[in-house]
Amino acid sequence: MLGPMPAHNAEYHRFSGSQVTQVRRLLIDWYAQSKRPLPWRNANPDENENAYRVWVSEIIDTVIPYFNKWTEAWPTVHALAAADPEAVRSVWSGLGYYSRASRLLEGAIIVVNKFKGVMPRDAETLQKEIPGIGRYTAGAIASIAFNQATPLVDGNVVRVLSRMRALGMDPKSKTAVDLHWSLAADIVDPDQPGDFNQSLMELGATVCTPTNPDCGACPVKEYCRAFEEHTVSTEKAKAALQAPRKMKRKIIDADADDDEPCALCLPVTDIEDCGALLVTRYPVVPKKKAAEEKEVLVPIIELRIPDQPSKFLVMQRPPKGLLANLWDFPHIPTTEELSPLTDFSSDNLLASIPNTSLSKSCLTIKIEKPFEPIKHLFSHIKLTMNIVWLTAQLPDGISELPVNDTATKNCAWWTEEEMEAGAVPVTLKKALKLVTDDRKGGSKTGAQQGTIKKKAKKGANVKDAAQPSISNFFSRK
């Protein structure tokens, strides 16, 4: 159970002039000795190249293998501006937040065309002119690459400042956002802004971590309100344990009524319990909104062609929205008429795939196997994929594929090798793995085998026997 915050007013959350001086000195000295050797920190005499590398590192969110892969492919802003969009999406594949890749490419083109390949040097212009560069990224580029005394605030900085100034408020509220940026502006070092801003981020990433901060190793713990509160609370608890019973409550309640409660901070009852370490009550953890739930049918249609690798129907997603511009298996939203619990055949399923005429085509299509539903969690959507594996064959004497107009219909037939190399999301990889794993096992569901064999013995049409209602294969557990 959290104890009460010490009574305080709004000034409790600000730095004094002398504190600012000491915090700057201590953090810059600590950073010089303790910084990690990250690839985007490699010194380069070319400021413009440094700016590009800082930009990429922030958009990629400092994932080292992806940063190295990206900068090997496009080491300069000029190289990126000339890149093929499909190649950009392919290199980004698996990293998430796919629209960031498109904005990086779009921004590089603007830098080359509008600024002659030279990155703007100030945060205001960077944020205003370059797509995908927000307030934080602009501050990072301007301070680290061009030594502009401008603040930055990311998740690590929010955590450090929330603890140093005991900000007991929802960090996503406008009041908290404004206060964090104001505090960051107050303390940024005018002579070494890049090193200072990186020291704040480094401290949050390596010492002032979310759940297990190493306060003993913190170079600025002397100026940390949260550490001070933890120390005082611990001392009071020890004193209360050692005091006579009549004195215990007086010790615990000492100083509780010194001032009016701070109007900025939430009541303790509205803050999630942080466990034994009082420091981790900051920043306040906001209640998460439940992810939106979506359910789709995902037909994996494998076209088997004699003496050639199988090909699979893939569709390019719209230019905006979830998984924008990536190639994936068709996703058909479930409805009352079309769901795993509805009695429908493969023809109904095929007719629901946009931009195709598969249900009317010359292909012979049968259901091979449905799979247990797969759940995939995006940042704001919980997606349930009901996957059905179907196989298709062309009539004898016909070799032309039924869908090949990718320019207008955004449909294509790809081999497994093409899917591995293409700009595809994790959802496709998860679904395809079910098929490839099943091939290794080489078996169908027992229910499906029994149905087909039984009907064949009675003389039923074998093609019809292979087309049972798709809802028969989905089970809800």
Question: pLDDT grade, residue 208 (50/70/90)?
Answer: very high
Q: What is the pLDDT of residue 51?
A: 95
Q: What is the pLDDT of residue 458?
A: 35
Beta strands in 291-336 (DSSP E): 292-304, 311-316, 327-328, 332-333
Residues 299 and 401 in one domain: yes
- CB-based contact 208:160 (threshold 8 Å): yes
Give the tens place of pLDDT for each residue, 141-179. 999 999 999 999 999 999 999 999 999 888 989 999 999
Q: Which amino acid is at 399?
A: S
Q: What is the pLDDT of residue 120?
A: 96
- Kindly state the average pLDDT of the residues 21-27: 97
Q: What is the pLDDT of residue 26?
A: 98
CA distances from residue 20 to 26, 134, 196, 240 in whole angstroms, order as listed: 10, 26, 12, 35
Cβ-proximal residues to 190 (8 Å cutoff; 6+ apart), any chain: 149
Residue 229 clears pLDDT 50, i.e. is over it? yes
Residues 198 and 297 in one domain: no
Residues 183 and 318 in one domain: no
Cα distance between residue 347 and residue 361, in whole Å: 11
The two most distant CA atoms of the chain are separated, in Å, by 98
The terminus-to-terminus CA distance of the chain in angstroms comes to 38
Cα distance between residue 252 and residue 248, in whole Å: 6
Residues 218 and 302 in one domain: no
Give the tens place of pLDDT for each residue, 250-297. 434 444 444 566 777 776 645 555 555 778 889 987 666 678 899 999
Residues 451 and 368 in one domain: yes
Q: What is the pLDDT of residue 151?
A: 97
Q: Which amino acid is at 294?
A: K
Three-class SS of residue 159? helix
Report if residue 412 sits inside a domain. yes
E strand or H helix that includes residue 233 = helix 225-242
Cα distance between residue 88 and residue 385, in whole Å: 27
Residue 53 clears pLDDT 90, i.e. is over it? yes
Residue 198 clears pLDDT 60, i.e. is over it? yes
Q: What is the pLDDT of residue 450?
A: 32
CATH of the domain at 184: 1.10.340.30
Range of the domain at 321: 292-473
Lowest mean pLDDT among 3-7, 127-131, 147-151, 247-251: 247-251
Report if residue 167 sits inside a domain. yes
Residues 220 and 296 in one domain: no
Q: What is the pLDDT of residue 310?
A: 92
**Among 185, 207, 225, which residue terminates a domain?**
225
More reliable by pLDDT, 350 or 104:
104
Query: How many CB atoms neighbour CB 420 within 10 A?
Result: 13
Report if residue 386 sits inside a domain. yes
More reliable by pLDDT, 341 or 154:
154
- Kindly state the average pLDDT of the residues 452-470: 35
In total, how many domains does the chain have?
2
Residues 344 and 217 in one domain: no
Report if residue 4 sits inside a domain. no
What is the percent of the chain where pLDDT is above 70? Answer: 74
Q: What is the pLDDT of residue 445?
A: 42
**Among 225, 258, 273, which residue terminates a domain?**
225
Residues 166 and 302 in one domain: no
More reliable by pLDDT, 355 or 311:
311
Report if residue 286 sits inside a domain. no
Vertex 433, ends 428 and 435: CA angle to 5°?
Answer: 105
Report if residue 274 sits inside a domain. no
Q: Report residue 330 as tokens.
A: 């068709």
Q: What is the pLDDT of residue 82?
A: 97
Residues 371 and 461 in one domain: yes
Residues 329 and 217 in one domain: no
Residues 303 and 216 in one domain: no
Q: What is the pLDDT of residue 145?
A: 95
Report if residue 395 sits inside a domain. yes
CATH of the domain at 298: 3.90.79.10
Lowest mean pLDDT among 66-75, 191-200, 271-280, 320-329: 271-280
The dihedral built from the CA positions of residue 151, 154, 156 and 157, taken in this order, carries a sign that is positive
**Among 176, 201, 225, which residue terminates a domain?**
225
Q: What is the pLDDT of residue 134?
A: 95
- Kindly state the average pLDDT of the residues 221-232: 91
> Which of 303-312, 335-344, 388-397: highest mean pLDDT?
303-312
Q: Check if 58 is active-site.
A: yes
Residues 199 and 322 in one domain: no
Residue 116 clears pLDDT 50, i.e. is over it? yes
Residues in the chain: 477
Question: pLDDT grade, residue 343 (50/70/90)?
Answer: low
Report if residue 360 sits inside a domain. yes
The position carrying tokens 């609370």 is 233
Q: What is the pLDDT of residue 204?
A: 97
Catalytic residue of the set 49, 58, 72, 222 = 58
Residue 188 clears pLDDT 60, i.e. is over it? yes
